[in-house]
Structure 1
Amino acid sequence: MANVEKDRAAAGAFTRLAELRPRHGALCAFATTLLSCMPVIVVLGGVPRYAALGDSFLLCLLLAAVASGAFLCARALRGAPRDGNRLARGAVVAYLAAALAFIVLLVAPDPWPLGAAGAGLVAGGALPAVLCAWARAVAAPMDRSLALCALVGGGAALAGWILALLPLLLLLPAFCVLVVAGTVPLLLIESEDSPDEADAPQAAPVACGKGALGRLLSVTWLPLLGLAAYVFMTGLVAHGAFGTMPATYLGSLPEAALVLLVCARWGRRPLLPWCYRVLVPLLAAVFVVLGAFPAGTFPQEASVTVLYGFYLVLAMIGCALFLAVTHSREVAPELTCSFATAVTAAAALLAQVLSAAMPGSDFSSWLPVVTGLFVAVLLLFLGRTAWDGLVTPQGGALGAEGAAGGEGVSAGCAPASAADGARVPARVADGVPAPKAVGAAGFEAVAAASPATPTAPEPSLRDTLEARCAEVSAARSLSPREAEVLVYLARGFTPAYIAKSLVLSISTVRTHVRNIYRKLNVNKREELLHLIDEG
């Protein structure tokens, strides 16, 4: 029965991941032609005028992106009125015009560095708002966001590979078509009700000032560090390291497939901690082993591709997390996207300055150093998390929160103990006795004991519990996000686990739990579970 449940879960995951829309294809076109990315730099590097215009264009683009991102971030922190649709339309038009103008300059009879710099300033100034518009248009929970990033990354790598094979006469027209396909749909998407505006679960009231930035950093600092490392190192590699194009494509496609497999197989658990505890260390270990082989051998050369895949996975996780944070709406999407854009553009700008200051240098020796630094930070973070889990009491945390207004929150991320007195409805399925206690382990143990029916399987315990929670949520007028948190509480999970699963800060989860207890008029866990039991 356990294997059947796993197969059903995997099939359901693939079904969810397959829910693609035309806008996702447009996003792939946008990623393929994002002017500050390494594959685009390398593809356009073969154009004769790029050597004279490319550096000034990129430098101005990144400077403007940092300044624009910082301005929008400060504006969001001040709580300025939001005019996302109007700003997005203007930014899309400006970015499209600047990108096409730069392509025209590449084929002009005479080089015009000043014009390239102006196009870079316009494109960079519009880039944060364009990225925010895309984030709002495709935001989703963490598992779907990571799968989307894998699909977009793999598709962009494949499209870039095809572009690199085209002759110059076809390369620039095809590139212009992709630029238009990756930006114009945003004008249509933003004219509709964005799906994350209408359907996203409601979060706690959006915080302003330093509180909002603190919440954002508490959830995103490690993925943002990985994303910045990816942008920095690929920026250096694009300016003359080694084997850039083969490593880009050979590393992108297998890693995208690997991330898709991870989303389908382990998407139901908190995906972000799992990636940093298993996937990222595994890729780093493979790079260390292959890099230890003698120079010139196939394993040592393959380590370059593995290393690019390592950084690409970091980038996918970082982008997916920011999409998930945008979906959760814990902080304003403008703050989330502008802050991420400013930080990553600053990392790319640093790479651009270093490559200009040391022309002709081989930065390949920097790759293992930066990789080692990131892995060291990751190990320190995981070690501290493990230590906090050892020294922090697990039991009774949720009941204390309900009684004391949210002050006693466990730092653990495992389901609460069965000894806490949680119960499951008395008759969940025919012939299956109700357990005395519940948590994730309790539910799965009963599910494993359930008789498997080959034709029409009865509703699983999770489905039954979610149905009961939905009835209670509708009867007590819980918000969509509170209803989502209620399911986790009923399954016996701690607030820390809920925060990791829903990509929220602990303080936001505490707020939701306090609101749930208040609306349900209960003071402790036993009363909450008794209310769900009665339906």
Structure 2
Amino acid sequence: MANGTYLNRLAAQPPIRFRPRLLLLAAFLASAPLYPPNSYLMLRFAPNVSPAGDFLFAMLLSCFATALAILLFSAQRPSWPGFETRKGRPIATGCAWTYAAVLVAIWILLAAGYRNVVLFAALGVTAGACMAPVIMRWVRLYLMDFRSVMFYGAIACASSSAVAWIVSLLSDPFAVAAEGVLAITGSVLPLLFGIEKCTHETDEDAQSVSGIENGGGGFTGSPDAESPSNTLTGLASSLRTFLSIIWVPLLGFLVCSFMMAAYSFDADVGAGRSEYTGAIVASAVVVALCAMRLKSPFVMLIDRLAVPACVAVSIVLGSFPTGTTLFVAGAMLVYAPLALLSLFALSSLVAMAEAGEFPLPFVFSAAFLLSCAASLLGMTVQANVPPDVNLGPYLWVVLSSYFCIVVVHLGFVAWQQACSTDDPDALQDAGMRNEGETDTLHALQHERIVTLANGYALTKREREILQYLSLGYGSVYISKTLFISDNTARTHIRNIYRKLDVSSREELLSLVNGMK
């Protein structure tokens, strides 16, 4: 093996394959009514809020109810793969066509000046119920490594913002036609794409974590358990573990959903909106980071460097006096850190589904449910605030409070790692060697691990974790990098110890180093 090859693979940065079909996600995002700039475009046709507002509110309520139903069903039947089954595909196909037809009908009715609150609310309920299978199809298409998800997600985010921006500048007939084409392209065309086989944990891996203690992670018990109490207990345990893995970026995504539904930080720059500029800038940052070749896990680069840096820049720009050029720039870029956190959170959710600890329907429905709740809260706040009240300063307090949480969490993680007893000597020794020597040792270490794993019949996930253990990393770092819960990582480590007949990290390292 060439020097450095093993290290680069361990850093989880495989080459990004060009998949142009994934870029069609931009059409789906640019046409989604729940994307706030699109809802503002709808209100352009109905300035008195109703019936466009009734359509959006009904759609959000329907999405919330659908996500809750999928979450409860997934908790009761963890083996359910979603709508990618022989019986589920016709449902997904029907939902996609119905969703596209409803959006086309809505835009035509708005352009024609038709006003019927009951009809618009009914169409909103229908669109919300049909939206979930379409999103789940897109999530399956994006099941790949974290860096690739971030790359294609960023391009789709920037493209959708640019397209939505352009559509908002068009005259009414052209805007309606463009939205109809985007709706059909983004929801129906994915049905033509085949789903590539994803790399999940093998059955052996699933069995190896089935003994996790209560409160530990993933779904427990029989997949077909019918006891409501058992289902609710397992659901609460799974949600707790799910949130423990991803709560900081997910909270940022929810804050973004709430703020975009409640207020737009517009500035006097023509037709520009802060949602567009923030998403485009955040996406450009992500694409630039994806282009870098690093010897550290990409998730750590985003979590420990990109997000705090983007938050710091936003705070500095927002602290300038009102009306100054830098303050206006800060207002236009206020959504940049939130867009970056949203990309991070959504990519992490896809990576969690790809890792296999949680079923995809559970991951999707839990995140979608929370997002709908945040958007409903934001829409409710916007509808009940008097017109003479400026929400901007109040929402800036909300945003700053979240930024404070990010900074405190970053400091807590750094303190936790500094106080950790996980292999400081191994990491320090590795850092003292020059790059060529380190690569050579890693290549030799990899050969030893392959021999050891083959001899003791380790599963694919256990081999991966053993590689990190041999380099001195602990369960916290491993769980963060592999998008699994810390309890699941510890369970895998215990299984590795049991199979290798060792009782401590020192014995494990001695066994690995003693391999010929």
- TM-score range normalised by the length of the shorter chain: 0.7 to 0.9
* Residues 100 and 113 of structure 1, relative CA distance in 2, 3 Å threshold: same
RCO higher in structure (CA 8 A, sep ≥6): 2
1:207 to 187, 205, 219: 219
2:379 maps to 1:352:
yes
Deviation at 1:152, TM superposition (A): 1.9
- Of the structure 1 ranges 44-53 and 214-223, higher mean CA displacement relative to structure 2 is found in 44-53
2:103 paired residue number = 99
Map 1:37-436 to 2 at 5 A: 37-47=35-45, 51-79=49-77, 82-84=80-82, 85=84, 86=88, 88-108=92-112, 110-189=114-193, 192-196=195-199, 204-205=209-210, 206-208=218-220, 209=234, 210-238=236-264, 245-265=272-292, 268-272=295-299, 274-358=301-385, 360=387, 361-392=389-420, 394-395=421-422, 416-418=423-425
Q: Deviations over 1:57-86 (max 9, x none)?
A: 110011111111122112222236515121
Distance 1:480 1:341 in 2: 30
Deviation at 1:220, TM superposition (A): 1.7
Distance 1:201 1:109 in 2: 60
1:448 to 417, 435, 452: 435
Determine if contact 1:201/1:479 at 8 Å carries over to the other structure. yes
Determine if contact 1:248/1:308 at 8 Å carries over to the other structure. yes
- Equivalent pairs, count: 480
Deviation at 1:385, TM superposition (A): 3.1
Identity %, equivalent residues = 26
Determine if contact 2:262/2:379 at 8 Å carries over to the other structure. yes
2:21 paired residue number = 23
AA paired with 2:381? Answer: L
* Residues 120 and 141 of structure 1, relative CA distance in 2, 3 Å threshold: same
Determine if contact 1:63/1:121 at 8 Å carries over to the other structure. yes
Determine if contact 2:264/2:273 at 8 Å carries over to the other structure. no
2:498 paired residue number = 518
Deviation at 1:158, TM superposition (A): 2.0
AA paired with 1:338? Answer: S
Q: Deviations over 1:277-336 (max 9, x none)?
A: 433333333233223333222111111122121221121121111111111111111111
Q: Deviations over 1:365-413 (max 9, x none)?
A: 1232111211222233334334434554x15xxxxxxxxxxxxxxxxxx
Q: Deviations over 1:403-437 (max 9, x none)?
A: xxxxxxxxxxxxx233xxxxxxxxxxxxxxxxxxx
Deviation at 1:488, TM superposition (A): 0.6
Distance 1:69 1:194 in 2: 25
- Of the structure 1 ranges 235-244 and 481-490, higher mean CA displacement relative to structure 2 is found in 235-244
Determine if contact 2:108/2:176 at 8 Å carries over to the other structure. no
Distance 2:31 2:408 in 1: 37
- Of the structure 1 ranges 334-343 and 252-261, higher mean CA displacement relative to structure 2 is found in 252-261
Distance 2:200 2:48 in 1: 41
* Residues 115 and 49 of structure 1, relative CA distance in 2, 3 Å threshold: farther
Secondary structure of the structure 2 residue equivalent to 1:140: coil
Gaps of 5+ in 1: 396-415, 419-438, 452-458
Distance 1:159 1:343 in 2: 27
Distance 2:442 2:187 in 1: 41
Determine if contact 1:105/1:112 at 8 Å carries over to the other structure. no
Secondary structure of the structure 1 residue equivalent to 2:18: coil
Distance 2:48 2:355 in 1: 41
Deviation at 1:449, TM superposition (A): 5.0
Determine if contact 1:32/1:159 at 8 Å carries over to the other structure. yes
Distance 1:76 1:324 in 2: 18
Distance 2:162 2:197 in 1: 29
Distance 1:200 1:90 in 2: 32
AA paired with 1:502? Answer: L
1:425 paired residue number = none
Distance 2:31 2:76 in 1: 33
- Of the structure 1 ranges 68-77 and 374-383, higher mean CA displacement relative to structure 2 is found in 374-383
Distance 2:408 2:280 in 1: 30
Determine if contact 2:424/2:472 at 8 Å carries over to the other structure. yes
2:489 maps to 1:509:
yes
AA paired with 2:406? Answer: L
Deviation at 1:230, TM superposition (A): 0.3
Gaps of 5+ in 2: 211-217, 221-233
**TM-score under structure 1 normalisation?**
0.80
Q: Deviations over 1:170-219 (max 9, x none)?
A: 22222222212211233234x64543569999554442413322210111
**TM-score under structure 2 normalisation?**
0.82
* Residues 196 and 160 of structure 1, relative CA distance in 2, 3 Å threshold: farther
* Residues 506 and 257 of structure 1, relative CA distance in 2, 3 Å threshold: same
* Residues 294 and 331 of structure 1, relative CA distance in 2, 3 Å threshold: same
Distance 2:311 2:81 in 1: 43
Determine if contact 1:330/1:504 at 8 Å carries over to the other structure. yes
Determine if contact 1:39/1:245 at 8 Å carries over to the other structure. no
Determine if contact 2:264/2:274 at 8 Å carries over to the other structure. no
2:508 maps to 1:528:
yes
Deviation at 1:252, TM superposition (A): 2.4
